[in-house]
Structure 1
């Protein structure tokens, strides 16, 4: 692996994180971007990076591995922006600022959709007219792939090997689950866009597709419907806030909306987790990551209790005090349950070094780590 210092740029739906990693992945510095000029953040870093890695949520069908960014790649990434309107424009904006601040430093795009390139056709196919599927590329893409890929790799390190059947729960402002068989994604809850699946902070998750059509037919504009589904639904639509900590506080005060929202959140989480285990034919490991997955013991306890029929059980004390990577499995459980700290920056850096040291910039292939 080349001795490169990598600046990773990770725009999320509600955050922007920049991390400078040394050649051995030592974290030299980390900074949150909102409210700060990226150029100013870079000037405060202890060293100039040798390469840049930028997280992009959507790579479509063209980009299933990391790829060095040039004008043609940038143009195609702009074309994909409407499929991930909370993320793709933010990544493109960050890329523009980074390239202005660091001209001449090579930049590599890493994609959340890439980990799901291994989805079998049965899991990826929507039952829509063939002409639509072929013309518009309508299929399940899946997201949070950088987080899933790192969680799988880290779980293998913690347990001494990859569990044959894993369900990884990335729970944060955006949330999705992934069924992982022998290290490869075989099913996931997000689909063509990041709107499908779980109830999220501001996104509705799966709803009857007839609802948006009905709303548009009754006078709402497509733009208003899309904005509401992306930014004003989910926990925010149910309670007025997408902050799980605030909702927990309200629930403790017996707020009716907060209690109902938690019930709906957990109902969907339980159902989707069970669906992922069905795709795997069982469960050997359950892994929590992401802001809520790492920091909310109540979410972890409730889901493992809901899945107890599969053999999940966690130690209450280890669950309550989990800080960083933690094996919470109770002595009588047949399924291992872990918390893994999300480190998408490490996964991005791995992809950047691979592309820049091997010279493979095709953007093809399947099952990339980045």
Structure 2
């Protein structure tokens, strides 16, 4: 049988998400998630043909988790020996200055991903565990690393460069690397395909617990909100986004240490820090119940989005398309509507009925009116499919 499927792995520190995908058709043959790895009450969920199979068992390491996933494939299908498995695609958050595209994992690539752990300490080490585990179990198949930062590797110097002493910046490789690049690349490419042209001036908003904005000319990124790390930019579920760096010095002088500040900025701030919830559904409910903290959190969230949309519209020399994606972007009609209301001055007109009744089966959904000067779209992101397609092209 012709090799035609890719096993996509997104490995976290205590979890492992996977999908078995046919890259050409985009069909997902199976998918699942192993959670609470490293505990004696791990859980593995395997979904095939719409049926969910869940087991609870000890999962001391990622290897045991992946071995159990293999068992679930044997028990419930599809048979990995008969699906034309071409190789594995591994999501890697940080590719730094080394990678402008996907790469076949060898000793050199592995060493570079390891070196870049300092820039993504919550992500790259976990990704390496996934790579090592899968390569041990499938040593004869190619393993492809697909980098979130690759889409931004060729950002214009004027947008990737910080106004930092250039010798220090060069010594420590400090620049804007961005994140969510696999998503932004997939979504902006889908928009270009939908419109049948590559000259479109567009802004894509990846709004989930992590959130980022990207300005693109056609299929090429020219600016993005995340920086050296995924902390910079928009207000997120638990991350501050943009903040005066002197806040760090102030907190250090007040007695907090670097680890405490890192945890505060990345895990205890954002919507969670502002109002105590990072699930937008709960925040909206609290706002409706008259909670002033929730109201302020939503206002801060929206205002940061407006600032980036305004800045990117000027950078692009105008705006043709505004696209929402990811969990909040795809599913939160109120967030989309309230934001677009504030954009009427640049010609955005939102169709309230289309916005509130999006067809989730459609790969592109217009929510703006016919006479809107800016086309507003919802495009479900599919990072796993993007990874699978990059992997199969390289293979």
> Any conservation in 2 of the 1:163–1:284 contact (CA below 8 Å)?
no
Tell me which residue corresponds to 2:61.
none
Match status 1:267 vs 2:268: no
Tell me which residue corresponds to 2:5.
5
Tell me which residue corresponds to 1:106.
142
Match of 1:42 among 63, 70, 78: 70
**Residue by residue, what CA displacement relative to the aligned partner does 1:125-174 show, whole Å, maximum 9, x if unpaired?**
10111111110111111111100111012112322233520000000011
Given the superposition, is the C-alpha separation of residues 301 and 163 from structure 1 closer, same or farther in structure 2, using an over 3 Å criterion? farther
1:73-222 equivalences in 2 (<5 Å): 73-162=109-198, 164-222=200-258
Match status 1:331 vs 2:370: yes
Tell me which residue corresponds to 1:362.
none
Structure 1 residue 118, shift from structure 2 partner? 2.5
Structure 1 residue 82, shift from structure 2 partner? 2.4
Tell me which residue corresponds to 1:20.
20
Structure 1 residue 327, shift from structure 2 partner? 1.2
Q: CA RMSD in A?
A: 1.8
Larger radius of gyration: 2
Which has a greater percent of strand?
Answer: 2
> Any conservation in 2 of the 1:163–1:285 contact (CA below 8 Å)?
no
**Residue by residue, what CA displacement relative to the aligned partner does 1:226-271 show, whole Å, maximum 9, x if unpaired?**
1111111111111222111111111111111111111111111111
1:233-312 equivalences in 2 (<5 Å): 233-312=269-348
Given the superposition, is the C-alpha separation of residues 332 and 15 from structure 1 closer, same or farther in structure 2, using an over 3 Å criterion? farther
Tell me which residue corresponds to 1:347.
386
**Residue by residue, what CA displacement relative to the aligned partner does 1:22-78 show, whole Å, maximum 9, x if unpaired?**
253321112133243233223323132320001111100011111011233222212
**Structure possessing the higher relative contact order (Cα contacts under 8 Å, 6 or more residues apart):** 1
Structure 1 residue 354, shift from structure 2 partner? 1.7
Question: Distance in 1 between the 2:265 and 2:286 partners?
Answer: 23
Q: Which runs of 5+ in 2 are unaligned?
A: 36-42, 45-64
Match of 1:316 among 337, 352, 355: 352
Moved more, 45-54 or 188-197: 45-54
Q: TM-score, normalised by structure 2?
A: 0.86
> For 1:59, what is the secondary structure of its paired residue?
coil
> Any conservation in 2 of the 1:67–1:355 contact (CA below 8 Å)?
yes
Given the superposition, is the C-alpha separation of residues 317 and 13 from structure 1 closer, same or farther in structure 2, using an over 3 Å criterion? farther
Q: TM-score, normalised by structure 1?
A: 0.91
Question: Distance in 1 between the 2:104 and 2:184 partners?
Answer: 22
> For 1:44, what is the secondary structure of its paired residue?
helix
Question: Distance in 1 between the 2:70 and 2:267 partners?
Answer: 30
